[in-house]
């Protein structure tokens, strides 16, 4: 091996392993931070009370601190400035030698937030200072042991120009404020709760403030404040409403009361994530705060409610009890996702919210589990922790907890949560600690169940049945198999809860239960079953698995009419539609004439019939409605067709062209055959134009726009689509956005006129412009890639802004297979070029944007070659961030 190659190996990013975890050698009890904010830099003074950790086995007395892109000004220990031989500064560390048991440590650094395009640490956004410290951003502010198991009490003083930055915010409660010389002022904040440094927050700027209050269950008053851009306070009203709902919900469902006197949320336009749960001072991407009916769709409103709740719920599941190390990330994120999903189901529709959650899991997490980046809910190693903020950690982690609740029961699970909070408040803990609490309250051995945390892959659950009419006995034989994942060929059987119901010929439930699948194969018997039932399997999607059961077409159609479980009612119809699509794909590949089965058309005709929406028919599950209101929202979901991405996941080799052609054929032919039915239902749903946010009006709008999406395939209905767009523009974003998405796929004057009108109306609203970018990036036209390239040069696009990148580049890769996977490979080349550019600015976003290339093994050989070539170009780059390096090397490995 040559010296050149040895140097290359040494420059590769290091891997961190779970088995190498060791307690910190030193702990920090108190941190006093002073920030002097200026236009070209920030001066940071840190005063810490440090003590040796008796739980550490290390014999070293050296204090190792993390630091990244810091300019060190001075170091003092117990008031004495250190000489150069008493410490050493590395690229990303500061090591202070031979420290005593307890001491005071003062460090002064200079940083440059204005140049911080990575948006990690302290940075500028629209002339405001803000922070993002999770996972390892605090080291970009000052030297510190940047790990979640070092918990300290923080006091923060912020000094800044009073005119430019009248609002100076940090964690906890404000304890002092005053004026300084030269037009400057200060604010001092104290957080009474110990926290890890990743929860530190600072914001300085000029904002409008929306204020309200909340009375807790113990009758305490909590001040609620939303800090937003000037002139946008009214647009935070839904977020405020959602916050108060979440606070009450957490008190009722988990007994968790807010613990500070003030709860603050700041909305910023430049943010890598959706939001951050910093103790008492959440920092949010503005898209998850700002909304009104003119600028935000129903989906936006739902997302705001969910994200607001998520970050608030973190106050206990993440803040008061945090994770010992980043391998335990799902302990806070999976648990909080589970809680916010439960909140959304209670707030809106249990069935439809479950459908949305499962769709996301199937389209994003299942492919992750089957690809080169597969990892367990608790990984065993990582190169860059930012790459593990994944759907596996979050959404699959939430599914694991939902299964645990199913196995133990809601009451026992709640007792386990109570014990978890009582035993571990103020601590940094592990997944084992959480599971042990559940075992303690339930008496159930969860050893096998814990494999869900350590074993990657999506299990395949296969079901066979048999009915003995003479004995009136029905049996289900269920097998499980988890395919190999990178580095783990052999898989152990998991504990899988399979919720089932047996339906008679009239759709009545003869039996319901939860089956505990713990072996590779098990048989379950049901006695006194008078007739052969139709099984409703994996109800409410009781486990994150792939289910195989040989349903006949008539069984699926029967379940889609009669199953009282809203999710399985929807699922049965989707399985049938998918079965038809896969057959159409085979016909297309064999160049046969495409034709829809009469049964499919009749299924849609039945759903479009007015009688379908009467709950007393049993067709729309009565349980899915609210207080006698038919679930229009569920019907809208039932009328939808599986996405191209999901269809592709059912194929051994993804045939991009066949999937697109056959899906478009199905949609257009259904529209042609059922035009009058779609139009009639559209017109009935258009009669009520109320702008309310409740399940009935949301459902009506969703159903109306689903009908319109079909009608958009008919040239004679293009005027109707254009009419809805122009009527809704400026008053109803849900309807305007739905119509514009349809018109964007229709070449011609309607498209160009609508796109220009939308931009002219909303060009000054960054979040609405993001919709404009995304709609065009998703439009499946022959010149779609050229249009995306042109938009990337438009003044509305800024590659330094994550929301713009997600809207344009992210949409192209994730939602426009025809353009991205063009046979000439231009989509792959373009994405690679963008990713290279992003990597120099914001490595986190670069690593996320490269993801569509990492699935290269799923496509035909020609596309595989083209995609792999772009990954290899990235791999050979001389300057590759650890974030992107890990994604690329694992994808090629």
- For the annotated catalytic residues, the residue numbers are 311
Q: Token pair for residue 695?
A: 């399940």
Residue 892 vs residues 384, 559, 849: alpha-carbon distances, Å = 17, 43, 16
DSSP string, 468-507: ETTTTEEEEEEEEE---BTTB---PPP-EEEEEEEE-TTS
Residue that has been written with the tokens 């026992």 in this structure? 412
| CA–CA separation, 458 and 369 (whole Å) | 6
Residue 326 C-alpha from the chain's centroid: 18
- Give the span between the Cα atoms of 159 and 19, in whole angstroms: 43
Contacts of 529 (CB under 8 A, 6+ apart): 467, 472, 473, 474, 502, 510, 511
Peptide bond into 135 cis (omega under 30): yes
- Phi then psi for 284, rounded to 5 degrees? -120, 145
Structure tokens at 109: 């650094």
d(CA 19, CA 8): 26
Chain centroid, CA 735 distance in Å: 25
| 507-520 per-residue burial string, b: 16 or more CB within 10 A, e: under 16 | beebbeeebebeee
What's the CA gap between 880 and 836, in Å, rounded? 8
Strands (E), 112-220: 121-125, 128-132, 153-161, 167-170, 173-179, 184-190, 202-205, 208-215
In the sheet that 202-205 helps form, which strands lie side by side, from edge to edge? 121-125, 128-132, 202-205, 167-170
The region, left, alpha or beta by phi > 0 then psi within -120 to 50, assigned to residue 217 is alpha
Output the DSSP codes for 300-330: HHHHHHHHHHHHHHTTTBTTTEEESSGGGHH
**Buried/exposed code over 669-704 (b: 16+ C-beta within 10 A; e: otherwise):** bbbebbbebbbebbeebbeeeeeebebbbbbbbbbb
Alpha-carbon distance of 816 to 707, in angstroms, equals 22
* CA pair distance 485, 471, nearest whole angstrom: 43
| 93-96 β-sheet, strand order | 63-66, 93-96, 87-89
837: CB partners within 8 A, 6+ apart: 799
Q: How far apart are CA 39 and CA 114, in angstroms?
A: 8
């Amino acid at each position: 091996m040559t010296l050149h190659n040895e140097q290359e190996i040494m420059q590769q990013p290091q891997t961190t392993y779970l088995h190498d975890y060791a307690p910190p050698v030193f702990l920090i009890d108190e941190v006093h931070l002073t920030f002097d904010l200026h236009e070209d830099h920030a001066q940071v003074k840190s005063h810490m009370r440090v003590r040796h950790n008796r739980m550490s086995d290390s014999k070293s007395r050296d204090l190792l601190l993390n630091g990244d892109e810091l300019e060190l000004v001075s170091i003092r220990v117990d008031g004495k400035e250190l000489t150069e031989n008493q410490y050493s500064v590395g690229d990303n560390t500061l090591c202070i030698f031979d420290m005593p048991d307890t001491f005071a440590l003062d460090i002064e650094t200079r940083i440059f937030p204005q140049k911080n395009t990575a948006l990690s640490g302290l940075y500028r956004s629209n002339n405001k200072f803000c922070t993002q410290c999770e996972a390892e951003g605090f080291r970009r502010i000052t030297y510190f042991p940047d790990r979640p198991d070092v918990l300290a009490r923080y006091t923060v003083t912020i000094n800044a120009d009073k005119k430019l930055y009248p609002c100076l915010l940090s964690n906890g409660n404000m304890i002092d404020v005053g004026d300084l010389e030269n037009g400057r002022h200060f604010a001092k904040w104290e957080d009474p709760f110990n926290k890890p440094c990743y929860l530190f927050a600072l914001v300085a700027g000029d904002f409008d403030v929306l204020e309200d209050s909340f009375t807790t269950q113990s009758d305490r008053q909590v001040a609620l404040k939303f800090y937003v851009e000037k002139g946008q306070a009214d647009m935070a009203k839904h977020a405020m409403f959602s916050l108060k709902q979440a606070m009450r919900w957490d008190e009722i469902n988990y007994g968790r009361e807010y613990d500070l006197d003030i709860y603050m949320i700041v909305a910023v336009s430049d943010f890598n994530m959706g939001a951050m749960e910093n103790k008492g001072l959440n920092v949010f991407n503005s898209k998850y705060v700002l909304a009104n009916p003119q600028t935000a769709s129903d989906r936006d409103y739902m997302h705001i409610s969910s994200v607001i709740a998520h970050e608030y719920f973190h106050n206990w599941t993440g803040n008061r009890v945090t994770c010992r190390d980043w391998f335990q990330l799902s302990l806070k994120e999976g648990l909080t996702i589970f809680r916010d999903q439960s909140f959304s189901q209670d707030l809106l529709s249990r069935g439809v919210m479950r459908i949305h959650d499962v769709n996301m899991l199937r389209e994003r997490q299942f492919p992750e589990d089957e690809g080169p980046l597969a990892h367990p809910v608790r990984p065993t190693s990582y190169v860059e922790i930012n790459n593990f903020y994944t759907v596996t950690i979050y959404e699959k982690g939430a599914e694991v907890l939902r299964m645990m609740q199913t196995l133990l029961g809601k009451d026992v699970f709640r007792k386990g949560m109570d014990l978890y909070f009582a035993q571990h408040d103020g601590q940094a803990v592990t997944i084992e600690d959480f599971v042990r609490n559940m075992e303690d309250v339930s008496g159930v051995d969860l050893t096998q169940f814990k494999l869900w945390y350590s074993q990657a892959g999506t299990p395949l659950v296969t079901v066979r049945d048999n009915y003995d009419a003479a004995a009136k006995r029905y049996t289900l034989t269920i097998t499980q198999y988890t395919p190999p994942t990178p580095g783990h060929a052999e898989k152990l059987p998991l504990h899988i809860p399979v919720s089932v119901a047996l339906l008679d010929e009239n759709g009545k439930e003869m039996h319901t239960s939860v089956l505990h699948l713990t072996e590779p194969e098990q048989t379950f018997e049901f006695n006194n079953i008078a007739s052969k039932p139709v099984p409703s399997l994996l109800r409410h999607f009781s486990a994150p698995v792939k289910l195989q059961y040989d349903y006949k077409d008539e069984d699926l159609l029967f379940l889609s009419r009669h199953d009282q479980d809203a999710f399985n009612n929807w699922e049965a119809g989707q399985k049938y539609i998918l079965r038809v699509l896969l057959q159409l794909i085979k016909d297309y590949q064999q160049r046969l004439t495409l034709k829809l089965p009469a049964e499919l058309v009749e299924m849609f005709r039945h759903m479009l019939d007015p009688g379908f929406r009467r709950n007393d028919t049993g067709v729309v599950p009565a349980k899915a409605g609210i207080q006698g209101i038919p679930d229009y929202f569920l019907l809208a979901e039932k009328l939808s067709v599986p996405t191209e991405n999901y269809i592709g996941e059912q194929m051994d080799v993804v045939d991009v062209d066949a999937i697109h052609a056959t899906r478009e054929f199905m949609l257009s032919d259904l529209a042609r055959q059922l035009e009058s039915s779609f139009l009639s239902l559209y017109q009935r749903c258009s009669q009520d134009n109320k702008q309310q946010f409740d399940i009935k009006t949301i459902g009506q709008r969703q159903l109306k726009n689903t009908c319109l999406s079909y009608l958009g395939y008919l040239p004679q209905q293009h005027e109707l689509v254009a009419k809805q767009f122009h009527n809704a523009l400026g008053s109803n974003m849900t309807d305007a956005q739905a119509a514009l998405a349809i018109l964007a796929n229709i070449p011609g004057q309607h498209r160009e006129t609508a796109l220009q009108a939308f931009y002219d109306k909303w060009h000054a609203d960054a979040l609405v412009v993001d919709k404009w970018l995304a709609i065009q990036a998703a439009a499946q036209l022959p010149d779609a890639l050229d249009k995306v390239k042109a938009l990337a040069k438009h003044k509305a696009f800024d590659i330094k802004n994550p929301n713009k990148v997600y809207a344009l580049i992210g949409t192209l890769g994730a939602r426009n297979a025809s353009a991205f996977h063009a046979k000439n490979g231009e989509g792959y080349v373009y994405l690679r070029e963008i990713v290279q550019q992003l990597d120099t600015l914001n490595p986190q976003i670069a690593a996320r944007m490269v993801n569509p290339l990492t699935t290269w093994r799923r496509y035909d050989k020609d596309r595989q070659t083209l995609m792999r070539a772009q990954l290899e170009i990235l791999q050979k780059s001389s300057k590759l961030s650890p974030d992107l390096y890990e994604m690329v090397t694992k994808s090629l490995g």
